[in-house]
Amino acid sequence: MKKCKRLFIFLLFFFLSLIITFFGIYLYAKTTTKLSIKGANGFYLYDSNNELYNGGSKEWVNLKNISENLIEATISAEDKNFYKHKGFDILRIMKAMMINVKNKSTSQGASTITQQLSKNLFLNFDKTWARKMKEAWITVRLESHYGKNEILEGYLNTINYGGIFGIENASNYYFGKNSSSLSLAEASILAGIPKNPSKYSPLINFSEAKKRQKMILDSMVKNNYINTFDADKAYNEELVFKRSENDNLKMLMYYQDAVMDELSNISSIPSSFIQTGGLKIYTNLDIGLQKTLENCSDKNISNPNIELAGIIMDPESGRVLALTGGRDYSKSEFNRATKARRQVGSTIKPFLYYAALENGFTPSTTFTSEKTTFSFSGEKTYTPKNYNDKYAEGPISLAAAISYSDNIYAVKTHLFLGEEVLPDILKRTGINKNFSNLPSLALGAEEIDLLDMMGAYGALANEGYKIKPYFISKVTDMDGHILYEYGANNLSVLNKSTVYVLNELLTTTYAKEFTDYNVPTCLSILPKITHKYAIKSGTTNTDNLIFGYNKSLVVGLWTGYDDNKSVNSEDSLNLKNMWVDIMEEAMTGKNDQDTWYKTPNNVVPVAIDPISGKASVNSGKAKILYYIKGTEPTLNKESLDTIIPTVKIEN
């Protein structure tokens, strides 16, 4: 009996302490400065022409001017006890915790509308304990200083409706009308979006949006806002969306996600909208090129199951002009352009051959192309093969090795230079990772993400300057005060003349003069090519890649499978056709005089025999290539052949 009495006293004291603490916190919050939430109106994204392409106007709408249908649908969907709690729904939290413990997951949430508003006042959604404590404190302050209707008004004006922030903006974006005029059908479809904007946006995934709408209508019936007849009528009502040209861009959200990732890493941006009242984000997006990227994908990538990543970039500045991280954002939000690391195959070879040219090689330098087993200490061996198992069975020039993407030549070059040379070039051009000192690095057996590869190719495309691909040019607050502006810091890391020689060599990948015992790797797209490009493709068992450029643009593409299923030659051909279609459309109206490189004064052209690399007068077979003055072959002087000895390396 005494134990029960002690327990009762303890519990009574405990709960009294909780109540006192609870009210003490709210009383203290009352003494703090009132948070300004009106105007904290989200993100506004502008393209390279300063045209708003996602977001809305800066209009804040009063709660009395919002449709009751939308208000009731939102409360039913997000927080049915909104008018009964003080910011935290304790019973709902306990229920969610029990479900999560039972299911061994964290799938159940219990955020109230006030808590969600407090989240909306922050720039990003970190899930750290420190962040959660800040959100909880702001929730208390909001409940202490504002009435429920004011909090609901703030929430509806800041919540994300599929990249559109605020209900007035969303209502106009989706239906071309003010939020006061929303029907029950329209309101219930919009109220479903904030739960998961990319999943429940009716423009991205209509079937999932309808499922969410049905759930919301059922909850409105349960909460006595409407009857079953009204719910069924609203569900079956045909929705007429106000579609803009951009609505059909099923890959555009990948670009927006990349923008938001970059935004979250800019230290000069205040951590909360309380300080900014919203953000205007000026991006490098070229809507025309984004459409070109998507149209060329639809035209060429016929395999419905294969995935895609693609980037179009200005090589002079590093501005990312268009991007996709997959075939369809509504089916997969994973951004393969910025987050996936894949083996890059032979697209690594231009950096190897730049190193070779820097270390005394010329386009005429030869190694023997034949099946080769390389022997190392500890009885280790390495036996690379050419992609099509074709070999010259004799010496071939560096130019031919690039044209055919000869693997034997690449490995010999890598070992001849020393295995530390290629990693050094990659780091100089911006790929900062620890590469393994392995012979297979010359064949791209390392995993690198597409964005890093684009930065490295940018150094080749802009004649030797290291650049960083970027998405955001400027960020301001809603009053136009600049919070961040990109500052270029391009650094010369490669020799301009050597880069020019390499760029000319990369035109051999589609040069018909190299048709011999083998064919150039990109010869199939020659009929479509009307401009001069440097191109390098690459293939592994699971990946197809192609990078190509001129002075105006760099375009990099990848296709493959998320589960590493094998790719085939048709997949590779389709990717090459997509690449050339993008470039040719982008170069319409331009000429090579404007888009190709001016020959440096210390570089000279020579007509050579493609295979031997020797100077040639055979006009039907010769190919003009470029040499640093003094290294060129002449008709009276054979080119200096560099033949690697039998390689045996001590580890």
Instruction: Find the helix packing angle between 349-358 and 450-461, rounded to 10°.
Output: 40
DSSP letter, residue 440: G
Render 441-492 in DSSP notation, one character per residue.
GGGT-SEEEHHHHHHHHHHHHTTSEE---BSEEEEEETT--EEEE-----EE
DSSP 118-174: HHHTBSS----HHHHHHHHHHHHHHHHHS-HHHHHHHHHHH-BSSS-BSHHHHHHHH
The catalytic position among 76, 144, 297, 346 is 346
- Look up residue 347 and give its two tokens: 């697209």
| Packing angle, helices 129-145 and 148-158, rounded to 10 | 130
Per the annotation, the verdict on 346 as an active-site residue is yes
Of the residues 72, 78, 168, 504, only one is catalytic, namely 78
3-state secondary structure of 392: coil
Q: Which two tokens stand for residue 645?
A: 């000895």
Q: For residues 59 and 62, what is the distance between their CA atoms, to the nearest angstrom?
A: 10
Rounded to an integer, what distance in angstroms lies between the CA atom of residue 214 and that of residue 176? 23
Whether 281 contacts 475, CB under 8 Å = yes
Is the CB of residue 365 less than 8 Å from the CB of residue 285? Answer: no
Find, among 644, 638, 629, the residue nearest to 609 by Cα: 638
Catalytic residue list contains 51:
no
DSSP assignment of 532-592: --EEEEEE-SSEEEEEEE-SS-EEEEEEE-TT-PPP-HHHHHHHHHHHHHHHHHHTTT--H
Q: Name the DSSP letter for residue 615.
A: B
| Cα angle, residue 44 at apex, residues 291 and 205 outer, rounded to 5° | 55
Catalytic residues: 78, 346
